[in-house]
Structure 1
Amino acid sequence: MNISVVIPLLNEQDSLKELYDWIANVMQSNRFSYEIIFIDDGSTDDSWLTIMQLSQKDENVKGIRFLKNFGKSQALHAGFAKTQGDVVITMDADLQDNPDEIPELYNMIVVDKYDLISGWKKKRYDSIISKNLPSKLFNWAARKTSGVKLNDFNCGLKAYDNKVVKNIEVSGEMHRYIPVLAKNAGFTKIGEKIVQHQARKYGETKFGMDRFINGFLDLLTIWFISRFGKRPMHLFGALGFLMFGIGFAFSLYLGVDKLFLNPTGRLITQRPQFYIALSTMIIGTQFFVAGFLGEIILRTKENKQRYLIKQELNL
């Protein structure tokens, strides 16, 4: 099979039929063998009913229905697990991603041998204040932190070699950082393509300030995981050694001062340096313990499914 199209969605019933027709037309006109996997992430409208109708009409349409809303990352993870195509295309269900981009994205993976191509919505039709400016700030921080030179990390339209999606773990809200996850997994040929951005035709945007804030928190998480995920003791041990060393130095100073330099002076417990020494040594010990616990958890963790599937179609 040439292409798997993975589409996570939440309450997008109005756009699904139009999106399907558009994708199917592109696939058939280019003679691609394909599958379209819709992942219904707990929709409360008739999105699943529409997916069922499409799957009955076309066996290339497949569906996964979550028991409740688990998030876009979990939806992508479930879709990636089911893909069979040599190239995997992800896009949003709101018609803001243009399926006409698919053939060129496919060629960039198959012919140019990229591991991953990320779309760049250079010209956007979103609100400047509510989405454009936060996105620019977010993308700048992501570039600086991750070292992946992309202009638009959050674009839903991406193309992957199948090996990439089968070897990365997308969890939490990490869908924004799939290029970083791919790089950390060893897939380093990552490119970018300017894609056409469509104005939203139906429904309302799911973007809010909470997602913006969570995005930066996830950025810190992925920075930590990429640097110290396999060796947490390197970070916590270094911090623990530093803090404990500061405390020990203060303790040594207080001891020498009391025994040899000023034996008749104030009691050690009456001096502020005593509490600095005590606090930093305790904090240092706690960092060491955190590092040990991190190493133990890393070596004993079990993979646990993060979502529950209620129903599947044609899978």
Structure 2
Amino acid sequence: MTMDMDISVVIPLYNEAESLPELTAWIQRVMDDHRFSYEIILIDDGSIDGSWEVIEELKAVNARITGVKFRRNYGKSAALNVGFAAAQGNVVITMDADLQDSPDEIPELYRRVAMEGFDLVSGWKKQRHDPPSKTIPTKLFNSVTRGMSGIHNLHDFNCGLKAYKKDVVKNIEVYGEMHRYIPVIAKWAGFKRIDEQVVQHYPRKYGKTKFGPGRFIKGFLDLLSIFFVGKFGKRPMHFFGTMGVLSFLAGFIIAVWLIAEKLISIANQSPYRNVTDQPLFFLALVAIILGTQLFLTGFIAELVSRNSADRNNYQIEKVI
């Protein structure tokens, strides 16, 4: 395969044996019609339905297909990360294997990255063929993600159909459940030319969805992780230290105020309550202890950060 390849299509899959022949034939037809040089990377995430045997058959008739088989199910993020590492195309397209994403969208996605210079173009399934139990939580998470990430021009962070400049996929790491927040990861890595494109969403043709309601909890926790690591990963003391100092000062001020109130009452020979008899004293004590722990956490995290192997690993765009 030539190193100056136009497009790499990365497709993570789990138990999608029925859809793979139709999907790869559709992609091949689109690529041939537009005379793109391309590769299709199929990552089998531990399927148990014969998907790998189908991939082997497809590979035998199309040399542009590359198959990667996991020993067990690791998740979509792991599959994408491996696919990104293997991709050689100047533009990398990701899509799901269930035929709900249309390969006919590829030429326009490619044009917007290759010609218009976007770092990442994310699909937006404006008209969805999913039940309300899936669409309503998705809208909520997209709204929260827009607010926390500052990427206000994306409506659907979790759409599997995306186009990336090659530099993007080679400089980000995707793990856990973070595939749904790749635009956020890309932004924190310094790739800020991010836009969206309305794409067609087809009803699922074969099988059933592989994602349950638990993905929303995991996704929210991963969003917090991305936000924290992206903003404070190289300076954890700024977060924990600030929170610790504020908590300690709040507790200290309350304690001093309670003691001063008692001393003034004694001086004026007025009735008073013992400091330890007041609920505020225990709140102050908790705040002081919590503040100390947060400060020490920040101090330890700073030591770990300064001794990590990638402490001076920064994104460099150009050197002249």
Give yes or no for the alignment of 1:272 onto 2:279: yes
State which drifts further: 269-278 or 21-30: 269-278
Alpha-carbon distance, 1:223 to partner = 2.2
Structure 1: runs of 5+ lacking an equivalent: 304-315
Instruction: Give the match's secondary structure for 2:154.
Output: coil
Q: How does 1:1-315 map to 2 (within 5 A)?
A: 1-127=5-131, 129-148=132-151, 149-259=153-263, 261-262=265-266, 266-301=273-308
Instruction: Give the match's secondary structure for 1:13.
Output: coil
1-side partners of 2:55 and 2:181: how far apart?
28
Instruction: Give the match's secondary structure for 2:128.
Output: coil
Change (3 A) 1:301 1:257: same
2-side partners of 1:161 and 1:103: how far apart?
14
Q: Which amino acid aligns with 1:296?
A: L
- Tell me what 2:314 maps to: none
- Identity of matched residues, %: 57
What is the CA deviation profile of residues 10-39 of structure 1, one whole-angstrom value per residue up to 9, with x for unaligned ones?
Answer: 000000111111111111121111110001
Q: Highest relative contact order (Cα 8 Å, sep 6+), 1 or 2? A: 1
2-side partners of 1:198 and 1:187: how far apart?
30
1-side partners of 2:213 and 2:69: how far apart?
27
Instruction: Give the match's secondary structure for 1:14.
Output: coil
Alpha-carbon distance, 1:193 to partner = 0.8
Relative to the length of structure 1, the TM-score reads 0.90
Alpha-carbon distance, 1:179 to partner = 0.8
Q: Which amino acid aligns with 1:290?
A: T
Alpha-carbon distance, 1:178 to partner = 0.7
Relative to the length of structure 2, the TM-score reads 0.89
2-side partners of 1:267 and 1:136: how far apart?
53
State which drifts further: 106-115 or 204-213: 204-213
Q: Which amino acid aligns with 1:299?
A: R
Q: Which amino acid aligns with 2:225?
A: T
Change (3 A) 1:125 1:259: closer
Instruction: Give the match's secondary structure for 2:122.
Output: strand
RMSD of the alignment, in Å?
Answer: 1.8
Alpha-carbon distance, 1:289 to partner = 1.5
Alpha-carbon distance, 1:224 to partner = 2.2
Q: Which amino acid aligns with 1:198?
A: Y
Change (3 A) 1:67 1:296: farther
The aligned length equals 302
Structure 2: runs of 5+ lacking an equivalent: 311-320
